[in-house]
């Protein structure tokens, strides 16, 4: 380990957990490390899950850092997590339990770090090359273990004190599959999904025994022949798609987990898979004990645009028309905020099934769901060159069509936040279009992918196209925008948001700045340059009576942000200076590099 810069070397005195724990339906029978996060109360001292709590609200009740003193926030320590200045993509949330921070790196290393000094307590390195590559959303700490998923489909349990492997379990035998989500723990069970739905992968989500790693149940996100909803697929096309890219939400009172399900495969060629293609591009509710199906809501029927439900579902208890309601919110790539009754999956405000343009060759769905309310990104792209212009749900075939939102438009996977203090949802989004064409001609068994006529993958980010973003506050009782801020860089595929009781929203920007916004109106109040694209989710926690903020800065290929290998922590009065900025991301999509003759 190499600490780059450290403001303080004081001894840590382990913060004590002060969250009052409720006895929920299905009482806890296994210890979740020092404390189990109370799903319907925001975290205070610790940040114990990637989503902050079981609800994925990414809201903290801490308020020591607030609007009145945010300008005094400064760096405490920073370090190179891969020890070489440039690592893999750093997409993980810094998880904090009792004064120790746990992070995953792009090379699939796991570190346990003293939150006050930046001293590494232990480091886990995978034993094989297969376990090293790819993005990872983070860990969960439970039963004295640190659990995370690897790119090679291994679910790993490490000893919380030493970092040694306690057990490891293969989550699937599918060759092209991998795990990118952070696990979630509840009452002896560890929940994690299998992704890779862009290729020859059938999505799965499963529960494992935290003591042994034994699989307790598994649910395939695409039904097999003869199973309920299998009629929404044509022939044997059910073999591909439905990856689970992100962590689940969990409601112990209702006994359900909620899963965002990815796109069908092949993603842009619908001729191979007639029907609505359940449960792709859907929110899926399962019994947390058995994995039994409870309900679903499909955001996009017969998805042709890679509009998968990739960001984490968010749970909240709100008042709607004078009555308390249990809701689930999910921001889509479509630019809609889907607001559902999480007890049954029915839309809270309303959804209209509207006719859409048809293309028989790719078997388009006759209608698509349009939630009542506002969209947080525009409906159509700005004109660009000679491309045919297309809006949301425009079909395509052999001729290129410029469509908005694109594959990385709207909210792709960056987590939103919900503040119980304001009762509003805050959504990061990207204003980005894509040029789509279709026509796959064969499936490659060796790579688990679909080859395309003339090469390519069915979509292109066109040179000269707009690349910007929006930060939007929305009222889940109306579906209406309360305020919206246009942002310089795309937000939908990056850091995501964190809100606090101090009246702040934190976001890591593609240009390397960690930014604090006023939760009331989106005004920028503070920023700090980290030296690389700050594209990892932000967390906040308390140690010895002081509130800290943490973020990983490693860059992001989709956002074209500067690459790096940094982990930063901040507190009021921190004196560590800002890092030199890296190469700044372009505001329009650049032309691809020219091949040399």
The set of catalytic residues is 306
Give CA–CA dist 423/318, Å, rounded: 7
Give CA–CA dist 364/351, Å, rounded: 19
Give CA–CA dist 472/70, Å, rounded: 21
Under DSSP, is residue 232 helix (H, G, I), strand (E, B) or coil? helix
HEC string of 512-565? CEEEEEECCCCCEEEEEECCCCCCCCCEEEEECCEEEEEEEECCCCCCCCCCCC
**In angstroms, what CA-CA distances link 226 with 101, 177, 238, 242, 279?**
47, 24, 12, 18, 15
The strands making up 388-390's β-sheet, listed across from edge to edge, are: 388-390, 401-403, 434-436, 459-460
55 near 313, Cβ under 8 Å?
no
Tell me 222's DSSP state. Answer: S
Pair type for strands 154-159 and 145-149: antiparallel
Strand partners, 563: none
HEC string of 397-410? CCCCEEECCCCCCE
522 near 484, Cβ under 8 Å?
yes
| Those residues with Cβ within 8 angstroms of residue 105's Cβ, 6 or more apart along the chain or in another chain | 81, 82, 87, 88, 90, 92, 111, 136
Give CA–CA dist 28/395, Å, rounded: 49
Give CA–CA dist 53/37, Å, rounded: 6
The strands making up 215-220's β-sheet, listed across from edge to edge, are: 184-186, 189-194, 204-209, 215-220
**In angstroms, what CA-CA distances link 581 with 89, 205, 262, 430, 536?**
18, 40, 35, 22, 17
């Amino acid at each position: 380990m190499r600490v780059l810069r450290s403001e303080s070397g004081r001894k840590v005195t382990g913060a004590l957990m002060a969250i009052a724990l409720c006895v929920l339906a299905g009482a806890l029978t296994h210890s979740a490390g020092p404390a189990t996060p109370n799903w319907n109360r925001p975290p205070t001292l610790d940040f114990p899950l990637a989503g902050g709590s079981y609800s994925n609200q990414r809201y903290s009740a801490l308020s020591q850092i607030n609007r009145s003193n945010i300008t005094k926030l400064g760096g405490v320590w920073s370090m190179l997590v891969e020890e070489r200045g440039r690592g893999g993509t750093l997409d993980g949330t810094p998880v904090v339990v009792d004064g120790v921070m746990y992070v995953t790196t792009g090379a699939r290393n796991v570190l346990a770090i003293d939150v006050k000094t930046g001293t590494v307590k232990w480091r886990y390195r995978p034993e094989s090359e297969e376990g090293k590559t790819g993005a990872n959303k983070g860990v969960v700490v439970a039963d004295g273990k640190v659990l995370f998923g690897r790119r090679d489909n291994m679910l790993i349990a490490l000893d919380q004190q030493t970092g040694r492997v306690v057990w490891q379990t293969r989550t699937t035998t599918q060759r092209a599959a991998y795990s990118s989500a952070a696990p979630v723990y509840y009452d002896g069970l560890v929940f994690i999904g299998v992704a890779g739905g862009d290729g020859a992968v059938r999505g799965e989500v499963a529960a494992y025994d935290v003591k042994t790693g034994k699989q307790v149940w598994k649910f395939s996100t695409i039904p097999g022949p003869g199973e309920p909803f299998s009629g929404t697929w044509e022939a044997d096309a059910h073999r591909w798609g439905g990856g689970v890219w992100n962590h689940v939400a969990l409601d112990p009172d209702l006994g359900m987990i909620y899963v965002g399900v990815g796109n069908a495969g092949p993603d842009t060629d619908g001729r191979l898979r007639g029907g609505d293609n359940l449960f792709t591009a859907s929110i899926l509710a399962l019994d947390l004990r058995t994995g039994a199906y409870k309900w679903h809501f499909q955001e996009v029927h017969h998805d042709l645009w890679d509009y998968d439900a990739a960001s984490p579902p968010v749970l909240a208890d709100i008042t709607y028309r004078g009555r308390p309601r249990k809701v689930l919110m999910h921001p889509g790539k479509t630019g809609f905020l889907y607001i559902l009754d999480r007890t049954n999956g029915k839309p809270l405000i309303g959804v209209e099934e509207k006719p859409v343009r048809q293309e028989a060759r790719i078997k388009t769905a006759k209608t698509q769901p349009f939630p009542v309310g506002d969209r947080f990104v525009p409906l159509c792209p700005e004109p660009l060159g000679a491309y045919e212009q297309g809006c949301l749900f425009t079909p395509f075939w052999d001729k290129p069509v410029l469509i908005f939102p694109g594959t990385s438009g709207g909210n792709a996977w960056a987590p939103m936040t919900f503040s119980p203090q304001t009762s509003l949802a805050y959504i990061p989004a990207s204003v980005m279009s894509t040029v789509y064409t279709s026509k796959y001609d064969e499936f490659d068994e060796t790579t688990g992918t679909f080859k395309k006529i003339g090469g390519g993958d069915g979509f292109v980010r066109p040179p000269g196209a707009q690349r910007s973003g929006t930060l939007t506050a929305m009222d889940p009782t109306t579906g209406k925008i309360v305020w919206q801020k246009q942002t310089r860089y795309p937000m939908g595929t990056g850091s995501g948001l964190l809100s606090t009781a101090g009246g702040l929203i934190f976001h890591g920007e593609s240009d390397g700045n960690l930014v604090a916004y006023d939760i009331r109106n989106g005004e920028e109040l503070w920023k700090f340059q980290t030296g690389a694209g700050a594209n990892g989710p932000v967390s906040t926690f308390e140690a010895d009576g002081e509130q800290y903020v943490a973020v990983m800065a490693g860059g992001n290929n989709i956002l074209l942000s500067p690459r790096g290998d940094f982990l930063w922590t901040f507190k009021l009065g921190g004196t560590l200076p800002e890092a030199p900025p890296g190469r700044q991301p372009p505001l329009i999509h650049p032309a691809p590099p020219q091949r040399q003759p």
